[in-house]
Amino acid sequence: MPVLHNRISRKELKDRILNDPTPRTTISFYKYIPIQHPEEFRDNLYLSLSGLGVLGRIYIAKEGINAQISLPTAQLESFKTYLYQLDGFNDLRLNIAVEDDGKSFFVLDIKVRPKIVADGIEDPTFDMSNKGRYVNAEKFNELTSHTETIVIDMRNHYEFEVGHFQDAQEIPSDTFREQLPMAAEMLADKKEANIIMYCTGGIRCEKASAFLLHKGFQNVFHLEGGIINYCRQVKEKGLENKFIGKNFVFDERLGERISPDIIAKCHQCGKPADTHVNCANEGCHLLFIQCEDCARNYEGCCSDECQNVTHLPIEEQKEWLQKQLREQPHFNKSRKRYHKHQTNG
């Protein structure tokens, strides 16, 4: 079967979705499940999902599937029927977005990767099936009512910064592969304590719980469905919400409001703010937090330099980008670099 891909430009696809009034629903899901032939699985999945109007980003590996998608709301039941008839997918949990207008994705990308989460684990004895115990929202609230319970956030700094659970501990790194050994080291003297791990949708904390068990920890839990599922259960069951601020999400929205608290600050002026943006200079595209005043003053840019670049003729902007590439061999305009600099020092 030939490789399948989108034949229409991303800009045109984005314009189509933004102008389409069809109601859409944003969903994320994952499953650690052996997939013997990822390429074949990928091609079959692409044909089926594109026929249902699904858009989004899906990773396939021999260890399973990881997906963030949107689809026409009217196709939701057909989508579930298709997924649940796949071998081993009948119990798949779908996380429905908390704040959503369905305009979260504009193309369908399904890629085969070595792993659905890059973890850096090379130990052949590591067993993903030996994972921590699930906790739902009610059990999470119960366990965290005890001060000796340890809550570990397995997300990156820029996710933690805008929102996290009360008393959660951050693992100070921006790559999951670095966080795993760091978490084991930080908790080395707590191998018998109750440890709850959480992340956005559950995929990272599930693997992290297995990693801690592999390292000899005894009482490891992970939040089923992550923050997204927790917030849904809190709302449905009328439970106390212990998540403060915004939940960072990896789509066009860049965040969904969970509580009214704003716990982060604008990276340019220091005012309370928790809106992530990408620098308007396409040659920079830095991910950072910007308040409304700075967005207006800097025209959506992260610095004076980038603001000046956006006012240059297109050819001079290209020259600026080429200069960055020469001076910074690892510079990549599509990579979201964090805290490159702050305008006010």
Assigned token pair, 271: 């005012």
Question: What CATH number did the domain enclosing 179 receive?
Answer: 3.40.250.10
The answer to whether residues 238 and 278 belong to one domain is no
Which residue segment(s) compose the domain that 332 sits in? 265-345
The answer to whether residues 189 and 220 belong to one domain is yes
Task: Give me the pLDDT at residue 96, please.
Answer: 84
Question: What CATH number did the domain enclosing 27 receive?
Answer: 3.30.70.100
The answer to whether residues 107 and 145 belong to one domain is no
Question: Using one digit for the tens of pLDDT, what is the confidence trace for 283-316?
Answer: 888 889 999 999 999 999 999 999 999 999 988 8
The answer to whether residues 226 and 142 belong to one domain is yes
* Domain boundary, last residue among 78, 112, 146: 112
pLDDT at 267 over 60: yes
User: Pick the residue with more confidence: 127 or 7?
Assistant: 127
Quote the number of domains for the chain.
3
Task: Give me the pLDDT at residue 314, please.
Answer: 87
Task: Give me the pLDDT at residue 10, please.
Answer: 59
The answer to whether residues 141 and 108 belong to one domain is no
Question: Using one digit for the tens of pLDDT, what is the confidence trace for 57-74?
Answer: 999 999 999 999 999 999
Question: Using one digit for the tens of pLDDT, what is the confidence trace for 233-243?
Answer: 999 999 999 99
Catalytic residues, by residue number, are 199
The answer to whether residues 157 and 227 belong to one domain is yes
Question: Using one digit for the tens of pLDDT, what is the confidence trace for 139-150?
Answer: 999 999 999 999
The answer to whether residues 105 and 197 belong to one domain is no
Q: Has residue 206 been placed in a domain? A: yes
User: Pick the residue with more confidence: 20 or 194?
Assistant: 194
By CB neighbour count within 10 A (0-12 exposed, 13-18 middle, 19+ buried), where does 113 fall? middle
- pLDDT band at residue 20, thresholds of 50, 70 and 90? low
Q: What is the DSSP string of 175-201?
A: -HHHHHHHHHHHTTT-TTSEEEEE-SS
